[in-house]
Structure 1
Amino acid sequence: MFGLSTLRVISCASLLVLAACASKPAADRTDTWSPNKIYAEGKDEAKAGAWDKAIPLFEKLEGRAAGTPLAQQAQLEKAFAHYKANEPAQALATIDRFKKLHPASAGMDYALYLQGLINFNDNLGIFGFLAKQDLSERDQNAAKESFEAFKELVTRFPDSKYAPDSRARMTYIVNSLAQYEVHVARYYYTRNAYVAAINRAQTAVTDYQNVPASEEALYIIMLSYDALNMPQLRDDTKRVLEKNFPKSEFLARGFKSKDSPWWKLW
């Protein structure tokens, strides 16, 4: 029979074995994979929409292939995977890191395009259509950041395959920013804050030229001057409105309905 001290030794040894087994990390199936295989597996997971599985693979590839173009590609793939997984903060952080580490990368145009796209979509929101709420009625910080990313892309890489879509989205964003000022101006006007309404509407006219929102902005300015009993400025504004928008529906029908948004492009 075992003595008490012997049992204690066996017990301690057993506990040590169990602890060692418990602390032993699970085998990493990618340990024997080549960087190209990891990339291929990550792309397959991404193609299947398994973003939660694709992201760790691209992270491993980034470390495994450090210092190579494949590592740069892994970063971009990871950023896109975060974006598709509705994780914009992680996606933007990955892009920022990419831009700092690889300022001369051949994939910089795509990084800028993805940065603009993430902010563009994040600002619009997935429920924008259901709420009939357009970009102009939301916070404009993301729209401005999106515009700057697209602007940098078309400036640095005018022949990039992403440049045409970027230019189209820049036009949309400019229209949106102008419409935002008009949205605020209309808010002030309906609450009889006519001076504030004029100021915001004038911002849309002067800061964002040749945009559709200018028509409503001039109309709000005209109405506000009329409400302030300033007929000369009212009539001057009306002449400008008629000259620039000779077929303006605002003069005939007033404010437009919100049932048919001007902004549905994507």
Structure 2
Amino acid sequence: MTKILPRILISALLVSLMAGCSSLGNDKPDDTLGWSAEKLFSEAKSEQAGRNFEASNKLLEKLEARFPYGRFASQAQLEMAFNYYKDQEPALALAAIDRFIKQNPTHPSLDYAMYLKGLVTFNESQGFMSNVSKQDMSERDPKAAKESFNAFRDLTLRFPESKYSKDATIRMGYLIGAMANYELHVGHYYFQRGAFLAAANRGRALLDNYANTKQVEGALGLMIQSYDRLGMKDLSADTKRVLLKNFPNSTADKETISTDPYWWAPI
């Protein structure tokens, strides 16, 4: 027994040494060791310009880890958010933006961070506005569009003089029109399926939330036709008076209700 134990210990030691040598052979030297924060940032921006967003972020992560209190650290967070946005990683982009805003509430680029947040969710909103004719429209979720609108609105309210506010305002107008169209289209969807009360309620929701859009006329027409089908003559008549007062030449209450395949266009 005393002869077997040393052999077992020696074998274990040899296995350990072999594993250690193997791992050492696989380790690649870090060429960035000794780089200054400025050098790391410059190289990260170079990778970004070449659309190598993953490589850029790896450099930015090293910068932030090695120089957490330097002048490039907060900018590195913002650049990482941009890289995630361009690399179509919206969840990571939003997480990076929120971290930047929380940690840098007075940063000179705060307006840009808020604008970037709007852009990320603006792109995400295209999913609910895409034309998927066989999908149940009542199950589509305009959450991203609303989040994008809120981000742009916050930017314009907090930084009205920002160079990003003009574009944010234009995008807000697009989103309002798209969300109003969404409500109207879902109302039409319900109407075609005989859910007239649900259709009328969608029209009412459009009036409550998007009163200054062109879709109001269609919403009133939808409500009138829905109330007629439900036998609610008083509500139908009241709604028609509102329609003709605001749109004297309107025929929305007589038009055929359909689910236009181009419903998402913010007319």
2:163 to 142, 154, 161: 161
1:16 match: 17
Change (3 A) 1:199 1:253: closer
Secondary structure at 1:125's aligned position in 2?
helix
> What corresponds to 2:74 in structure 1?
72
| 2: CA distance, partners of 1:92 / 1:83 | 8
Question: Gapped runs of 5+ residues in structure 1?
Answer: none
Q: Distance in 1 between matches of 2:193 and 2:178?
A: 23
User: 2-side partners of 1:196 and 1:68: how far apart?
Assistant: 57
What is the alpha-carbon distance in structure 1 between the residues aligned to residue 168 and residue 134 of structure 2?
24
Number of residue equivalences: 259
RCO higher in 1 or 2 (8 Å CA, sep ≥ 6)? 2
- Give the Cα separation in 2 of the matches to 1:194 and 1:9: 83
Are the equivalent residues in 1 in contact too, given 2:221–2:254 (CA < 8 A)?
A: no
Q: Secondary structure of 2:204's match? A: helix
Q: 1:41 to 1:146 in 2, by over 3 A?
A: same
C-alpha distance in 2 between matches for 1:47 and 1:83:
14
2: CA distance, partners of 1:181 / 1:47: 40
TM-score by length of 1: 0.83
One-letter amino acid of the counterpart of residue 192, structure 2: T
What is the CA-CA distance between 1:213 and the residue it aligns to?
A: 1.9
Indicate if the aligned counterparts of 1:75 and 1:98 stay in contact, CA closer than 8 A: yes
Residue 243 of structure 1 is aligned with which of 228, 242, 245? 245
Seen in structure 2, the aligned counterparts of structure 1 residues 15 and 199 have a Cα distance that, compared at 3 Å, is: closer
* 1:140 corresponds to 2:147: no
CA-based RMSD? 3.2
Assess, with a 3 A threshold, how the Cα gap between structure 1 residues 47 and 140 changes in structure 2: closer, same or farther.
same
Q: Distance in 1 between matches of 2:230 and 2:93?
A: 50
Contact 1:137–1:183 (Cα < 8 Å) also in 2: no
Shift of 1:82: 0.6
Stretches of structure 2 lacking an aligned partner (at least 5 in a row)? 1-5
Q: Percent identity?
A: 42
| Partner in structure 1 of residue 232 of structure 2 | 230
CA contact 2:77–2:96 (8 Å) conserved in 1? yes
Query: Residue deviations 1:130-159, cap 9 Å, x none?
Result: 8799x9984122222212211211111111
- Relative distance call for 1:104 and 1:136 in structure 2 (3 A) is farther
For residue 241 of structure 1, report the CA deviation from its aligned partner.
2.1
1:1-266 equivalences in 2 (<5 Å): 12=13, 16=17, 19-20=20-21, 22-23=23-24, 25-125=27-127, 128=130, 138-248=140-250, 250=252, 253-255=255-257, 258-261=260-263, 263=265
